[in-house]
Structures are given as C-alpha cells and as structure tokens.
Amino acid sequence: MKKTAFIYDEKYFWHDTGNGALFMPPGGYIETDVHSENPATKRRFKNLLEVSGLMDKLIQIKPRPATVEEIKFYHPETYINKVKELSDAGFGDAGALALVGKGSYEIALLSAGGAITAVESVVKGEVDNAYALTRPPGHHAEAELGMGFCLFNNVAIAAKYARNILGLERIMIIDWDVHHGNGTESAFYDDPNVLFISLHQERLYPPGRGNREDIGKGNGIGRNVNIPLPAGTGNAGYMHALKEIVEPIADQFKPDLILISAGQDASVFDPLARMMVNAEGYRQMTSFMLNLAEKHCNGKLVACHEGGYSAAYVPFCSLAIVEELSGNRTDVEDPFIEGFKDLPIEELFDIQKEYIAKVKEVQSAYWNLTVEA
C-alpha cells in the first residue's frame, strides 16, 4: 500500500459560478439551470471516498492558501488584483468563461495552495503520492487572462514552486483533461526544464490551441508535446498514446517529479466532450503514470483535479484513480457498465493510431521515437 495524501477543503465547493446552462449564462431563450462547473462532481467524489471507506485509508491534509508572491510565479499582480476586485464586488468574469463569485479570490488562492501543499508533501517524503481535489480548476488560466472556468493556474504555480522553492530540476506535467491545457503550455513554452504533454480531443477548446506542431520555442523546443485525439477515443487509444509517445519521452527526459492535470471529462458520459474513457480507463492511465514515476522519481506523483462535468460519473472515474494511487481497492463496482458495455472502449482504431503516428513524426526530431515507415 502507498501513503497517499488527499487534499481538499470544504471551501472549494463554495466557489460560485452562478446559474447557467452548460457554460452559458441564462437569458433570452436560455432557461436558468446549473452551470457545468458547479460543486456537484467534486463534492460527490469526496462523498464517494467517504462512504466507500477509502477516505479512512488516505492521509488527509488541509491545504493552505497560496501567497500572492507564489501566485506571481506565473500571474502578474495586475491580473491578481483584477480577480480580487471582481470577487470583492460579488460577481464577474476574469476573462473568457472564467466566472468569479463572491469570495472566489480567497478560494482560488486556497486551490493553488492545495496544489502546492500536495507537491510539498510528496517532495519532502511525507507521503508517496497525492491527489488534490482543487477547485476552481486551473489549466486554462493564462498569465493575464482567466479562461474556461479557471482563475489561477494551480499546476503551473505548483510546478514553479517545485523548481523555485524546492529546488527540483526537471518537472513533467501530463494533462489528460479532454480540453487542451493552454495556460500550462504557455507557462513553460520556452522552458527546457519542464516537459508538458497534453492529451486532448482535437479542436475542442480553446480554439486554435493544442496542435501537434506546437512544440515549444527557444530553449523549450521539443519540451511541449501535444497529442490531439479524434472524437470517440476510448481506453485503448489513450493507452496507445501513453505507451507510444509519453513513455519513451519520459524515459529520455527523466523527471524529478510528475504532475497530472487530472480532468475526468474524457469520460464516456461527459456533456462537454465526445470521448469514451471509462473508470477502468482512468485506473489504467493512473497505473501507467505510477510506473513511470517509480522508474524515474521514486514514485513522486501528484494529481490535481481539473475538469469533468458528469456529476453522476466523475466520482467513479476519480475513485478509480485514487484507488490506484493508494493501492487500496474498495467494493465499489462501476454501476454504469450497462450504459457503455457495447461501445468499443477497448478497441484501438486505425484513425487513432494515425493521429498518434503523426505526433511521433513531429516529435521524433527532438526525441528518439520509433516511427513506422
């Protein structure tokens, strides 16, 4: 069994994104509904950890708020002040679909602090690995612009903390959220010491980002790896990408720490994407990343929660991840199997192999990858 930390705070569930329908505000012909980025998916995940008994086997750590100086590792003071002003005023948008409610500034500091707390506990050897149930999410947040429900870029700030404060040399970030991690990419686009890999549904969000040809710049060329996947990709396609691209690149990069932007919105039931990963798929991906961490950095692995918008199914995908991290299996079985048992989730299609082969062709100029003729 592993010593796995679980980091969360009740305040994460109090970040207010208001009423809406999917990601749109109500008004006109859009009837008031529940905004997609609401507390339900994450609160239900926490509840499932508790009722399954798994929470009792985890090391629960309360996060601390990130300091303004730590947020400034990535975001300029002008943007930080903007988020605070919107929060103090009661409601607003910090950019593009980055809603700020009353008190969201303080909660966003706590969310970034959760990622820092997780990294610190792992790097200092207090635990083997960690899962941070951070909210609001972070991976879309650009330095001066909130985007896609994200205010401060939790993972980018935590990675910079690991480099600047904890003295680690090489950080690997893998982002398996179904939407491209544009903000994290921007944070390290010219940084040779941070390897950023994003697996995402092609041309989904944000527009124009996540292209396989976006490989970094300056000293960071080759340290940015985008793996766009076609709609309908399931467990087999994701695992093929991990084995064919992520593993050989990680073996050459040799990270001191691995961070996962863990968005469970590539799930088969997510309303904002069209992928077909199930809970077992997330278990498989976690096992794969654990093995990479054991090989290169004594198991130092931190997962930070990002997206995932099926309140019914995200808890089971996330539970599978934490079960795998900790080595503890509960008696929870996926209750939604009947809903996808006839879907080709475990089938690898030629089009998926073609997409992955194209990424290998681009990246082979910078990494030793076997490219089929």
DSSP-assigned letter for residue 66: P
Residue 109 and residue 56: Cα distance in Å, rounded?
Answer: 27
What SS3 state is found at 275? Answer: coil
Residue 247 and residue 177: Cα distance in Å, rounded?
Answer: 18
62: tokens are 């309360």
User: What are the φ and ψ backbone dihedral angles of 211, each rounded to 5 degrees?
Assistant: -75, 145
The active-site residue out of 75, 139, 140, 296 is 140
Q: Is 140 a catalytic residue?
A: yes
Residue 295 and residue 280: Cα distance in Å, rounded?
Answer: 23
Contact present, 95 and 6 (Cβ < 8 Å): no
199: tokens are 């697996």
Residue in the block written with tokens 């970034």: 112
- Residue 78's Cβ-count burial label (10 Å; 0-12, 13-18, 19+) is exposed
Residue 46 and residue 110: Cα distance in Å, rounded?
Answer: 17
Whether the upstream peptide bond of residue 206 has omega within 30° of 0, thus cis, is: yes
- The strand pair at 95-96 and 146-147 is best described as parallel
Please tell me the number of Cα atoms within 13 Å of 144 on its side-chain side: 2
Residue 179 and residue 42: Cα distance in Å, rounded?
Answer: 18
Which residues are designated catalytic? 140
